[in-house]
Chain A
C-alpha cells in the first residue's frame, strides 16, 4: 500500500508553505552540519565544552551500568568456576608451586635492585595516581576508539594524563569535563606510543590499527629481531608515560616490526588509575617551538636553541 504522502499538500496555502519551509530548514541543516564538521576537522578541540558537559550528564548512568556489568561478569565467572573446579584445582596447585619459586627469585631481584638504587642515589619514583575510577563507556559504534572515565577536573584529572589498568596502559586523557573525561585508547588509529621490548632495549613505536591491535614499528631498521610472544613496555620517551608499564604482546611478525595485542584490553577493564604526566617539563618543552625559551626554566630553553 502506498502511504498517504505528505508531499502532496493540495490547495492549502498553509500546508504548501509548511512543506516548503521544511525543505529549506533541512537544506540549511545540511549546510550547517557541513560547516560544523569542517570546523571540527580543522580544529578538533572546538566543541570540547559541549561534549564534555554532555558527558558529565551521562556519566552517572554509565557508572551504574559499569557496576552491573562487573557483577554480571562475576556471576558468570563463578558459575563456570564450579563447572571446572576439579581440573582447575590441580592446575592451580601446580601454578602456585611455580609462583612460590618465582616469588623467591623476585625477592632476590628486589633486594639487589634496592642495593643498586642506593648505590646510585636514586629515590623511588612511584607516584600515587591522581584518581582511581571506572571506565564508564566507549564510542562503540564509531570508527574512532574513545572511552569515557567517571572522573574529571574536579578529581584533578587534566588533559594528557596517562590512564592505566592493573594490567597495563589503557590510553591517554583527551578531554576533561567536571565529572567525566574522554580517553584516547591505544587501539585508536591516531594513537602512537613509544615502547621498548621488555627483555632488552629494542625500541619501537606502537600505533593503533583501528581493529583493537597495535602495529609495532621498529625505529632501528635492519634484521627484524622480534618473535611471537615478545612483551612490550612503555619506554618513557615523550615524557607522558612512566617507563616499564606493560603495553602489548607480539602476535604476528612483519617485515618492519609486527602486530601486537593490547595487554590491557579495555573490554576486560573495570577500574583504571589516572596517573600524573611522568615528566611534565619534557612534555612542555616538546610543545615549545625550537628557539623559544621555556617559561620557567631558562637553562632548558637555552639547551633547545
Chain B
C-alpha cells in the first residue's frame, strides 16, 4: 500500500506543483511593470515645495538588478529610462542616459565583486543613488547653488533608508513572479 504523503510535498512557496506551471508573461513582465509603476509614483502625492520623494523608479531598477542578477538585460536601463523621462520633469534623455550607464556599471562592478550580501548591496545602492541624484540635478537645467544642494540632503537620506525596504519588496515580488498560475493540460 502506498503511504499517504505529506500535503506539503505537492506544494512549495510558488504554489501547487501538480498540474500547474510558471506563466512566462508574469515571470518576465513583473520587473518591467513594477519599475514603470514606481516611475509614475512620485508624481502622484502632491507638490512638495522641495524635491523630497526618492527616485522610486531608479531605486526599483537597482533593487531588481541587485536582488535578481541576470533577470533584467543590460539594455533594460535605456527603455525604462525613456519611460521615466516622460514623467520625471527632468529634461528628456537624462534618465535614458543615466539608467543605461547604471546598468553597465553594475555589470562591471559585479565582475569585480561577485560576492553578495545585505550590506554590500546596500552600499552599492547608496553609491549609485548619491551619484544619480547629484548628476541628475546637474543635468536638470536648474541653477545649482548651495541651497539647492542642501535641499537634496533629505531626499538622499530618505532614498538610502528606503532602499533595503524596496529590496525586500522586490524579493516578495520575485516570489509573486514565479507563482505557478498556468494550468497544464
Cβ-based interface call for B125 (8 A): no
The distance in angstroms between the C-alpha atoms of A258 and B151, with both chains bound, is 19
Residue tally, chain B, CB below 8 Å to A: 65
The stretch from A76-84, A104-112, A135-143, A150-158 touching chain B is: A135-143
Please indicate which of the listed interface residues B42, B53, B91 has the most CB atoms of chain A within 10 Å of its own CB: B91
B87 proximity list for chain A (CB < 8 A)? 54-55, 58
Are A32 and B47 closer than 8 Å at their CB atoms? no
B111 proximity list for chain A (CB < 8 A)? 7
Given A33-B100, A265-B49: A144 in contact with B89 (beta carbons within 8 A):
yes
B70 proximity list for chain A (CB < 8 A)? 3-6
| 12 cross-chain CB contacts under 8 A | A23-B107, A28-B75, A33-B98, A36-B93, A137-B43, A137-B47, A139-B88, A142-B136, A142-B140, A189-B142, A212-B50, A265-B49
Given A50-B86, A190-B141: A140 in contact with B45 (beta carbons within 8 A):
yes
Are B101 and A30 closer than 8 Å at their CB atoms? yes
Q: Which residue of B lies closest to A3 (CB)?
A: B69
The distance in angstroms between the C-alpha atoms of A212 and B48, with both chains bound, is 8
Cβ-based interface call for B164 (8 A): no
The distance in angstroms between the C-alpha atoms of A190 and B89, with both chains bound, is 13
Cβ-based interface call for B145 (8 A): yes
Are B47 and A147 closer than 8 Å at their CB atoms? yes
Q: Which residue of A lies closest to B73 (CB)?
A: A22
Cβ-based interface call for A99 (8 A): no
Cβ-based interface call for A69 (8 A): yes
Q: Which residue of B lies closest to A46 (CB)?
A: B92
Classify the secondary structure of A's interface with B: mixed
Cβ-based interface call for A194 (8 A): no
B46 proximity list for chain A (CB < 8 A)? 66, 69, 135, 137-138, 140, 266-267, 269
Q: Which residue of B lies closest to A18 (CB)?
A: B73
Q: A29-B96, A139-B42, A140-B51 are in contact. List 9 more A-B contacts (CB 8 A).
A: A5-B70, A5-B110, A23-B107, A29-B75, A51-B86, A138-B89, A147-B47, A189-B145, A211-B150
The distance in angstroms between the C-alpha atoms of A189 and B89, with both chains bound, is 13
CB distance from A42 to the nearest CB of B (A): 10
Cβ-based interface call for A262 (8 A): yes
Are A209 and B51 closer than 8 Å at their CB atoms? no
Are A139 and B43 closer than 8 Å at their CB atoms? yes
The distance in angstroms between the C-alpha atoms of A6 and B143, with both chains bound, is 42
Please indicate which of the listed interface residues B47, B53, B98, B107 has the most CB atoms of chain A within 10 Å of its own CB: B47
Cβ-based interface call for A275 (8 A): no
